[in-house]
Structure formats: structure tokens, C-alpha cells
Structure 1
Amino acid sequence: MRNFSFIFSLSAFIVTMYFLITDFPTLDSSEGIIYLSMVIVLLLICITGVIINRPALPRRPYSMR
């Protein structure tokens, strides 16, 4: 389940970045500012999901040399 959440968060981040780059809003109107702020919040949620669900890297124990 954790791997699914990681993959889903990563794919949502990529799709959101794609739409932000291809359909960048005009910041002259309040609708553009609201749209941009909603996209930024969505990106922050995706980043949080990626950080929380990232796969644990195997760690080597320290040797007693």
C-alpha cells in the first residue's frame, strides 16, 4: 500500500507540473492567482506524499573496526 501511495503521489506531481507548465495562468486577474495558488497547494501535497511514502533505503550497519 505504501508503494502504491508513493507511485500515485509521484505521478500526480508529474501531471500537475505538466499542466502548470503547459497552461500557466495569467496573473492579471484574480482567477489566475487563485488557480496558481491551488496548483501550488496541490504540488506541496504531492511533495509531502512523496516524502512520507518514499521507499526506505537499506542501511548498512556500522562496523566495529
Structure 2
Amino acid sequence: PKPWDMPGYNDKVIMAAGGFIEGSSIELSADGPMRPPYYVYFQGGLTYYHGKIALINVLNNLSREGLVKIK
């Protein structure tokens, strides 16, 4: 994903999706502005468990890279 000037946002935005159809309302995706504190807005997923597994994988990868500490 690459940051771009999306209409309606004051900052460049990065959008990421793991689906085949961009913009699909049920696909799993995340987006966020490219500025501190670098919040990410996670949305979609086919089921609760689909979203939960994705979030667990994200947190595990961030922890392995030393970017977050999980207690």
C-alpha cells in the first residue's frame, strides 16, 4: 500500500485490503492517516472470527518486530 491524497482527508492516507474486490463492504481492510499517532481503522471481515484471527496475526507480527509489547 502507498500513501495518497484522498479527498476529504487533511493527511495522506494509506489503505490496505486483503480481498479481491476493492471497496467491497465485507472484505477485511484497514486504513489510516500518515501522521502520529498513526491510528489504524480496522473494518470488515466475513465473520467475528475472521476479524479476530486477523487481529491476532497483526498483533503477533508487531510483537515479533518489537513494535508493540503484549502483556
Q: Under a length normalisation based on structure 2, what TM-score does the superposition of the two structures give?
A: 0.34
Q: Under a length normalisation based on structure 1, what TM-score does the superposition of the two structures give?
A: 0.37
Greater RCO (CA < 8 Å, at least 6 residues apart): 1
Higher strand share: 2
